[in-house]
Structure 1
Amino acid sequence: MSERTERWSRATVYPDMWADPGDDPRHRDESSPDGELATLLDFLTGYRLTLRMKCEGLDPEQLARRSVPPSTMSLLGLLRHLAEVERDWRNWITTDGDPLPRLYGARDSDFLGAVPEQAVVDAAYADLEREQAAADAALAAYADLGERVGKDAIAVRELMVHRIEEYARHCGHADLLRECVDGRVGQ
C-alpha cells in the first residue's frame, strides 16, 4: 500500500470523533437507562447505529472493498455477516423444528458474496434490518434475563451480552475498514 489515504473527520468540536456530539444519533438522550435490560438494549442499539454510521455515504464499490488484504472482510461483508449472525441467534433460542437456513449459503459466503453491486448492498441492509427485528422479537418474549432458552439452555442475559460483544468487535473492524476506504476516522 504505497498510497496513504489522508485521515479526516466531520467533527469540529473533537477531531477524534466521528461526528460532533449534537449530530451523533447514538446518544440523543443524555440520561442513563434504568435497569439491566434497558442498559443492554441501549448498548446494542448504539453499536448497531455505529456500524451503520461507518457505512454511510459510501458507494457499492467502497462498501465491498477489502481493505486489509488478504482478509475477505469488507464493510458490506460485515453487514451481511451480522444479518447471518442475527439469524443464528434466533436458531439458538428455538427448540422446536428445523433451524432457519443460512441466508447466504456456505460458510464465509456472507463475506465472499459481498460484491460491489447496488442490489447486493440494498439486500444486505434489508436482510440486516429484518433479521435484527426478528431476533429482537424472539428475545422480547423473555422478560427474565436469567431464563435459559434453546436446546443449549443459554441464559437470555448471556445471549444479550454476546450480541453486544459481536457488534462491538465488528465495529472495531469497521473503524479500520472505513479509514482504509476514505480516511474517515472517529469513534
Structure 2
Amino acid sequence: MKIGVLALQGAVAEHIRMVEMAGAEGVIIKKVEQLADIDGIILPGGESTTIGKLMRDYGFIEALRAFSAQGKPLFGTCAGLIVLANQVEGDNPVHLGLMDMTVQRNAFGRQRESFETTLDVKGISEPVRAVFIRAPLIKAVGPEVEVLSEYKGEIVAARQGHLLAVSYHPELTDDAQVHQYFATMVQQSKASSVQG
C-alpha cells in the first residue's frame, strides 16, 4: 500500500515518517504522473494560498479531482484541510472544493498562539496528540460529512467518505494514530476497488 505526500510545501518528511509508522509505504509526490502509482494522498500543512497556486501551476487541481473521483482517499492536515474545502470564509479562493464544509483560515490566531493538546477522535480508541499552528477551523459541514473531533465546541476533524480533514498537525508528534486511521481508509478503498 502506497500513500503519497504532496510535496509542494509543508511538512513532507514528517508525514512520510508517520505513514511508515502506520505500516504503509510513503511516497513524495512532486509530479502529477506519480498519482497513478499511489493508493491515497496526504495534503500537508503550509500556506493554503501558496499551496493552491503551486497546485494550479503544476496541474494538480484537475489531477487530484480525478484521483478523488476514483474513490482514492485524500487526507488534508491544517492548510490541506482548507485545500479540500468547498467553502472558505472571507475573500479566499476554493482550491479542490471536494469536501462539503465551510472553513475559517487562521481561526486560532497567529504563530505564537500555537498549542498542543489531546483530543478524542471518533474511530480512534486512544486520545490523539494534536499540534495546532495557525490552524483553520471547520465552521459548518454538509449532511454527508461526519464530525470526528471537536476542541472547545469547534470542529477540528471530519470525514466525508474517502476524504479526511484535520485542523491540526498530527505529523509533529510521535502519535501515528491519525495516520493509522487514514491508512485503514486507504486499505479499505484499495480492497473495494479490487472487488469492484
Is TM (by shorter chain) over 0.5? no
- Choose between structure 1 and 2 for higher RCO, CA contacts under 8 A separated by at least 6 residues: 1
Larger Rg computed on CA atoms? 1
Higher strand proportion (structure 1 or 2):
2
TM, length-normalised to structure 1:
0.29
